Amino acid sequence: MRVNQTMELIHELLGYENIKIIQNPEMFSFSLDSILLANFVKTNSKTRRIIDLGCGNAPIPLFLSLKTKADIIGIEIQADVADMAIRSVAMNGLEKQIKIINADFKDIYKNEFANTFDIVTSNPPYFKYNPNGNINKNEYLTIARHEVKATLEDVVNEAKKLLVDGGTFYMVHRAERLAEIVKELSKTNFAIKKMQFVYTKASSKEALLILLEAKKNRLEGMKVIEPLYVYEDNGEYTEIIKKIFNFKNTQ
C-alpha cells in the first residue's frame, strides 16, 4: 500500500509548543491512549534506558523526552510509520536521545538488548485478529489495532527479556482484556504494582482502558489508584486531561 505523503501534517504534541509530531490521517495518527500511557510512566534519576514497543510515529518517546534524559528507543514494524517517527525525532532535534528502529519487536532483545532496559512501554494492538471479522481495510490501521503482527503474549514476553531485574513494564490496554493481561503477566513473573482505570466520562458504566505498571521478578503488592475520566458530561476534556496536554517537567 503506497502512502500519500502530501496528506502529512505537523502538529504540536499536546500543548507543549516545542515538541512537534508528523501525522498522516491516511496512515497513522497517535491516539490519546499513548499520551495517557506516557504520562503514567514514572522516571527518576536512575532511569538510563527506555524502549517503546510498537512506537508508531513516536508520541510516547517524544513525550518521555520531556520527563527524562534517559536514552529512548522506539521499535516500529511498519516502515512508513517508522519513517514518520524518525523525521519527527529529527524535527525536534532529539536524535541524540531518541533512536527509532524499523523492525519487528519480537526477539528484538537479541540485538544486544537483553536485560538492559530500566523501562519498557507499549500501547499494543488491542483486538484479537480474525481475518474474517470486521477489520479496517487500511492495512496500516489494521496492524496498529489488531494482533496481526504481535499478540499480547508477544508484548509481555519481549518486555520480560528486555528489562533488567526489577525493571518496570508500562502498558495501556482495553479493560475488557484485564483477566487475560493479569494471566500473562503472572505467567511471566511480573508483579503488577499499580493500576488505573480510564473512563470516557464519570457517568460511564464501564471502564474503557487500563493503565498498568508491573515489575520484573518482584513480589506482589498492587495499588489501584483513582480512576481517570477523559471527558466532562458536556464533552469538554476534564481538568486532569488538560493538565496532561499541557505537561511541563517538574522533576
Cβ 225 vs Cβ 196: under 8 Å: yes
Cell numbers representing residue 73 in the block: 528507543
- The span from the CA of 188 to the CA of 166, in Å, is 13
Please name each of the domains of the chain with its CATH number: 5-189 (3.40.50.150)
pTM above 0.85, yes or no: yes
pLDDT in tens, the chain (251 residues): 444 455 677 766 765 556 888 888 776 566 789 999 999 999 999 999 999 999 999 999 999 999 999 999 999 998 989 999 999 999 999 999 999 999 999 989 998 999 999 999 999 987 655 555 554 554 544 444 544 567 899 999 999 999 999 999 999 999 999 999 999 999 999 999 999 999 999 999 999 999 999 999 998 899 999 999 999 999 999 999 988 887 665 44
Strand partners, 20: 12
Cell numbers representing residue 229 in the block: 475520566
Please identify which residue in the block is written with the cell numbers 512501554. Answer: 121
